[in-house]
Amino acid sequence: MTAHVGKELSLIFGGILDVFLLTSLEQEKLSLDNKSAKASGVVLVENEITRITEWNFPKCGDNTGWHEHECDYSVIPMFSGILKIDDGTTISESSVEIGKPYFRKKGARHDVINGNDFPCSFIEIEYL
């Protein structure tokens, strides 16, 4: 998700991306990316091979915001429950299981929404 955000951050930090530096500034940057988005993303690892982001959805209905995946990616859910996927035409529901990853090819365009009445999160691994 939001593959271009990391590139912008790379420019800001001159390529020296360190998870210990990515605190409030990154949160602000990620939330500015889509004003309707209520989920927050924290980049845990970024290098020339991969970017690993933890996405947190505090409430039911919280969403990533509309985005297009520019890279193949995997998602590891940190909860068991429902992710709603808005592809711009329909909203579908995906059952996910804690710790059970799924893989998607680049090109996906969607908004991802917390479909649970509890906070949820997942780890996204992008293959740059």
Where do contacts with Ni ion occur on this chain (CB under 5 A)? 1
Give the shortest CB-78-to-Ni ion separation in angstroms: 15
For the chain, how many residues are written?
128
Question: What tokens does 83 get?
Answer: 């992710």
Residue nearer to Ni ion on the CB measure, 1 or 113: 1
Residue nearer to Ni ion on the CB measure, 10 or 74: 74
Give the shortest CB-106-to-Ni ion separation in angstroms: 11
Residue nearer to Ni ion on the CB measure, 22 or 55: 55
Alpha helices, DSSP H only, in 1-128? 3-12, 24-32
Question: What tokens does 45 get?
Answer: 């690892």
User: What three-state secondary structure class fits 94?
Assistant: strand
